[in-house]
Amino acid sequence: MYAVIETGGKQYRIEKDDKIFIEKIDAKEGESVEFTPIALNNGKNLIVDEKKLKKSKVVCNVQRHFKDKKITVGYHKKRKGYKRTYGHRQQKVALIVKTIETDLAGGDE
């Protein structure tokens, strides 16, 4: 069984006990975070109906907060003598997927 969740403007395909790295969220280390899946595969069918998916949830534990590797961005305008370079380190969160809970019995409803 796997689920697809959306957070931080990105979509992630996850299974139980997966470790994922997402954009920063407001949750302390050790807390549980719940997501509503946008798609769910129960082994037989792919379920994308919003009404059925409202009954489902993905529970994750926050493992740690960290900064990602540095991204360098540079600008220049040719023949003008203009150059600019800057960078930043994106705030990230490591999550461990604990459970994918659903009320769908077989997904044939």
**Domains in the chain: how many in total?**
1
Report the alpha-carbon distance of residue 22 to residue 7 in Å, rounded: 7
Report the alpha-carbon distance of residue 90 to residue 97 in Å, rounded: 22
pLDDT score of 58: 96
Report the alpha-carbon distance of residue 10 to residue 90 in Å, rounded: 15
Average pLDDT over residues 75-101: 96
Report the alpha-carbon distance of residue 97 to residue 91 in Å, rounded: 20
Tell whether 107 is covered by a domain.
no
Amino acid present at 44: K
Tell whether 13 is covered by a domain.
yes
pLDDT score of 108: 45
Tell whether 109 is covered by a domain.
no
Residue span of the structural domain in which 83 resides: 2-101
Q: What is the largest CA-CA distance in the chain?
A: 66
Average pLDDT value over all residues in the chain: 92
pLDDT score of 43: 85
- Residues 19-32 pLDDT 10s: 999 999 999 999 99
Looking at the predicted structure, is the pLDDT value of residue 89 above 80? yes
Looking at the predicted structure, is the pLDDT value of residue 2 above 90? yes
52 band by pLDDT with thresholds 50, 70 and 90: confident
